[in-house]
């Protein structure tokens, strides 16, 4: 009987202690070990060496490292001089997209000559058209 009474007292004490400590924060434990560090990725924004958005008149809306943009009607391409960059197609990754006016459909290609970036804007039949475009030039070996 004494055992049963002591067990009841102990059980009541534990229940009272549990009710009294709900919502209380205990002491902070020691800081755990530092996790593994991931591999460092390649450079980000420094890889973009030039970019621009050009309308069908050759007006540059936004640009980085673009000295000039000229339409060469006899060749059917845009000639882009980049600031302090002797552009050669295979030295860079270049992405070009069309900014055709409503009603025009087609695509764009790029190449280089004499250190200039050349962009052809072509209609769906492959004929050169003087239309707008956007481009990004990426140097994968940039720091």
Q: Tens digit of pLDDT for each residue in 74-121?
A: 999 999 999 999 999 999 999 999 988 777 789 999 999 999 999 999
pTM over 0.75: no
Q: How far apart are CA 124 and CA 78, in angstroms?
A: 18
29 inside domain? no
Kindly compute the dihedral angle of the four CA atoms of residues 106, 112, 118, 123, in this order, to the nearest 10 degrees: -20
Q: How far apart are alpha carbons 53 and 65 in whole angstroms?
A: 12
**Domain of 72?**
46-138
Note whether residue 89 is domain-resident: yes
Quickly count: other Cβ atoms within 10 Å of residue 114's Cβ. 9
* pLDDT of the residue at 16: 44
Number of domains observed in the structure of the chain: 1
In a domain? residue 5: no
Model pLDDT, residue 71? 97
């Amino acid at each position: 009987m004494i055992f049963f009474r002591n067990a009841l007292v102990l059980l009541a004490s534990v229940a009272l202690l549990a009710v009294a400590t709900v919502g209380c924060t205990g002491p902070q434990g020691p800081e755990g070990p530092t996790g593994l560090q991931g591999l460092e990725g390649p450079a980000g924004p420094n890889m973009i060496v030039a970019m621009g958005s050009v309308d069908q008149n050759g007006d540059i809306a936004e640009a980085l490292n673009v000295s000039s943009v000229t339409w060469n009607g006899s060749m059917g391409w845009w000639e882009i001089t980049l600031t302090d960059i002797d552009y050669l197609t295979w030295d860079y990754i270049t992405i070009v997209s069309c900014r055709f006016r409503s009603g025009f459909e087609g695509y764009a290609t790029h190449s280089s000559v004499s250190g200039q970036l050349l962009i052809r804007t072509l209609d769906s039949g492959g004929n050169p058209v003087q239309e707008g475009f956007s481009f990004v030039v990426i140097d994968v070996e940039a720091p």
